[in-house]
Amino acid sequence: MIGSSVLNLLDYDEYINERLNSLKNGFVFNDVHIYFRNTFKNQDMYSYSSNEFDIENKILNKYMTMIKDRKIELEKTDYSFHNFSYQIIDDPSLFIFNQSKFEIYILFKNTSKYNKNAYGFLVFSVKKEKSVNDVKKHITNNHHLEIFLEELNNFKYQLINYNKVFDSIDQFTEILKIKYSYMPYHMNNVANLALEMATKLELNSIEKINIYFASIIHDVGKIYIPAEILNKEEKLTDEEFEVIKTHSEMSCQIATNIFSGIDVLEEVPKYTRYHHERFDGKGYPDGLKEDEIPYLSQIIGICDAVDAMRSNKPYAGAGTFENIVEELKRCSGTQFNPKLVPVMIDVLREVYDNKYYIDINILKYIPNTSLNYINKLTGQHHTILGNLNHFSSVMKFGFEDKNMLKEIDSLESIMNAKISYVYLDNLYEYQIQLDSIEDNQIEISNLIRIPSDQLFSVNWVTRGDLILEMKSVPVMIFRIGAKGLGFIVDSAIGSQILKNKIEIGNMRFKLEVDSMSEVFNVNIRMIRHYLFNDDYRFIAEYENIPENERDSLYKYLFKKQIREKMIIEKRS
């Protein structure tokens, strides 16, 4: 499965490990546990442990309670320096790690005269035979430890800023979506393609997080571009193209503001600025060429171009696999780095051969995600649009419209909760558990993917007519299978279907394979729906389909699969 080898994007555990390894040269310790809390929002921010520990331990819980209650210190503090107080524990019954001789609790405190609350702590386990005085001397006279603690103190501010990044991206995404509804999908597609490229190119975790975030916001500067230019279906005029070209510099400026204060992401604005430079030097904004262009910008550029080729814009050509590969080869060495072209072709081959699956657990931000659930009390289906944020192993769904939160009486009133998102024309669905609501966000866990094979067998885009209560509604069918199909309607029609609680309808559509063609009329029952931008996607099962019509449908599905298999073999 592609994506399974991708690291947790912003690998702060790796960052901590590197710092701990440097500390071991001047400080004797074995295991360590670190905990930070956002005292402004009074919620957990980061936790790290080098080993399993006793989470029911009373001294540990005392520290946790102290921070949650915004107290400064425990009753006993052995020593204090700078922003840190520490306590040496020598009672084995209070140790959180096995085989400790001593455990050292170090407390982090704010230094502001307005806020002197504790915001975090760390625990060191010392497993060598030492006296209390030796341990105390080792702490108080240790320059390496002081540097490490100062780094952790700075690390806290990076964590806070990192949390703010998603809020900023959400705001700009919403503004862009008003101007150009496809843009959030495009930015997400480019980010995921870039992540796959980074994996195949064996980039490290810091490079991956940089390319991911640079891709997510690479077009954010288009908020300054007039909507009539962004939505124009014909080829742009020279004057309009000059206006479009300003977006990369604007994106860079916005990125500089968003990522200010996050050292690990300080290069993101640069990668955003140069994603439209060309390998032959004929790009913009600065006409850089070859190795003058940052490598990550080159990757974003080719991913950006490929997703544009796959789009439905008439001038883009709505490229098939063959057309896109032909264009990539044609532009190799001119627009694109020739070493990146075969890597992108490999990624595309897996996308088009249906071997591609992006694991939701490795993604940090997914815009335009749909939350779907049933209210236990009323039995009504609800769909809410929002964004998924994934930080420090916690996944949260943020409401696009904060007023929608009022629809949820309590988490206990919700059943059969699912989330879904669209990536590269595929619909991904997950059964989820809702854990808590805080700050207009729902924390979710236990994500279980709903395999599309349960209902579908073939990606098949075709137009159809949905008959509802004697009225005909045009739809776009996106998948067809032996047991059901999926279709898209605009938000007005979708809202009407839900408002009137319509579940049963009749679908009329035409299938064509090679020289064969046939019109099908099938009764359907709509079992799930998702809202994406201005469209609803419905999942439906066939109802009482006649045996001869089912047999005919199987024949077309089989033909379609055989044809696609031949295309795949040809590509290989």
Same domain, 480 and 548: yes
Burial of 86 (0-12, 13-18, 19+ CB in 10 A): buried
The predicted model gives 500-529 an average pLDDT of 88
- The confidence score (pLDDT) of residue 75 equals 42
The yes-or-no verdict on residue 71 having pLDDT over 70 is no
Same domain, 478 and 528: yes
Same domain, 369 and 264: no
CATH of the domain at 526: 2.40.10.220
The predicted model gives 498-527 an average pLDDT of 88
Tokens of 115: 């806020």
- The confidence score (pLDDT) of residue 3 equals 26
Tokens of 183: 């843009």
The yes-or-no verdict on residue 400 having pLDDT over 60 is yes
Same domain, 440 and 543: no
Nearest Cα to Cα of residue 15 among 39, 43, 48: 48
Number of separate domains in the chain = 4
Tokens of 123: 């625990």
Stretch (H or E) spanning 181: none
Q: How does pLDDT run across 198-221, given as a tens digit for each residue?
A: 989 998 877 888 898 899 889 989
Nearest Cα to Cα of residue 364 among 205, 253, 252, 158: 205
- The confidence score (pLDDT) of residue 275 equals 96
Range of weakest confidence among 43-52, 297-306, 327-336, 411-420: 43-52
The predicted model gives 233-242 an average pLDDT of 88
Q: What is the mean pLDDT of the chain?
A: 79
Buried b (16+ CB within 10 A) or exposed e, 1-37: ebbeebebbbbbbebbeeebeebeeebebbbbbbbbb
- The confidence score (pLDDT) of residue 566 equals 59
Residues 6+ apart with CB under 8 A from 100: 30, 31, 92, 125, 126, 127
Contacts 24+ apart (CB under 8 A), 203-208: 205/7, 205/8, 205/9, 205/10, 205/11, 205/14, 206/264, 207/296, 208/6, 208/7, 208/9
Tokens of 136: 């105390």
Same domain, 399 and 545: no
* Among 46-55, 256-265, 479-488, the range of highest mean pLDDT: 479-488
Q: Looking at the domain assignment, is residue 503 inside a domain?
A: yes
| Residues spanned by the domain of 58 | 28-141
The arrangement of strands across the sheet holding 102-109 comes to 43-49, 32-38, 118-126, 102-109, 84-89, 79-81
Quote the CA–CA distance of 107 and 85 in Å, as a whole number. 5
The yes-or-no verdict on residue 425 having pLDDT over 70 is no
Q: Looking at the domain assignment, is residue 22 inside a domain?
A: no
Nearest Cα to Cα of residue 106 among 126, 127, 92, 120: 120
CATH of the domain at 326: 1.10.3210.10
Q: Looking at the domain assignment, is residue 150 inside a domain?
A: no
Q: Looking at the domain assignment, is residue 2 inside a domain?
A: no
Same domain, 428 and 462: no
Same domain, 230 and 377: no
Same domain, 531 and 478: yes
Quote the CA–CA distance of 161 and 154 in Å, as a whole number. 11
Same domain, 443 and 556: no
- The confidence score (pLDDT) of residue 301 equals 96
* pLDDT level of residue 567 (50, 70, 90 thresholds): low
* pLDDT level of residue 461 (50, 70, 90 thresholds): confident
- The confidence score (pLDDT) of residue 197 equals 93
Q: Looking at the domain assignment, is residue 303 inside a domain?
A: yes
Range of weakest confidence among 146-160, 244-258, 515-529: 146-160
CATH of the domain at 446: 2.30.110
Q: How does pLDDT run across 123-174, given as a tens digit for each residue?
A: 989 888 777 787 777 777 777 787 788 777 777 766 666 666 766 777 777 6
Q: Looking at the domain assignment, is residue 521 inside a domain?
A: yes
Quote the CA–CA distance of 298 and 288 in Å, as a whole number. 11
- The confidence score (pLDDT) of residue 161 equals 67
Quote the CA–CA distance of 536 and 544 in Å, as a whole number. 25
Range of weakest confidence among 214-223, 377-386, 400-409, 433-442: 400-409
Q: At how many degrees (to 10) do helices 341-352 and 295-310 cross?
A: 40
- The confidence score (pLDDT) of residue 83 equals 56
Region for residue 317 given its phi and psi (left: phi exceeds 0; alpha: psi -120 to 50; beta: otherwise): left
Question: Which of 352, 381, 398 marks a domain boundary?
Answer: 352
Quote the CA–CA distance of 471 and 498 in Å, as a whole number. 15
Side chain identity at residue 149, one-letter code? L
Tokens of 170: 């959400």
Helices (H), ranges, 69-204: 132-140, 143-179, 183-200
- The confidence score (pLDDT) of residue 65 equals 79
Same domain, 437 and 496: no
Same domain, 243 and 307: yes
Nearest Cα to Cα of residue 400 among 175, 162, 189, 183: 175
Give 75 or 72, the one with higher predicted confidence. 72
Helix (H, G, I), strand (E, B) or coil at 43: strand
Question: Which of 352, 385, 401 marks a domain boundary?
Answer: 352
The predicted model gives 528-546 an average pLDDT of 84
Range of weakest confidence among 15-19, 108-112, 250-254, 452-456: 452-456
Q: How many other β-carbons are positioned within 10 Å of the β-carbon of residue 471?
A: 10
Question: Which of 297, 324, 352 marks a domain boundary?
Answer: 352
For residue 79, list its beta bridge partners: 86
Same domain, 415 and 491: no
Helix (H, G, I), strand (E, B) or coil at 554: helix
* Among 260-269, 325-334, 500-509, the range of highest mean pLDDT: 325-334
Chain centre distance of CA 77: 42
**Percent of the chain residues past pLDDT 70, beyond the cut:** 78
Is the distance from CB of 86 to CB of 148 less than 8 angstroms?
Answer: no
Q: Is the pTM of this model over 0.85?
A: no
Q: How does pLDDT run across 2-41, given as a tens digit for each residue?
A: 222 223 445 567 667 777 877 776 677 888 888 887 766 6
Give 332 or 164, the one with higher predicted confidence. 332
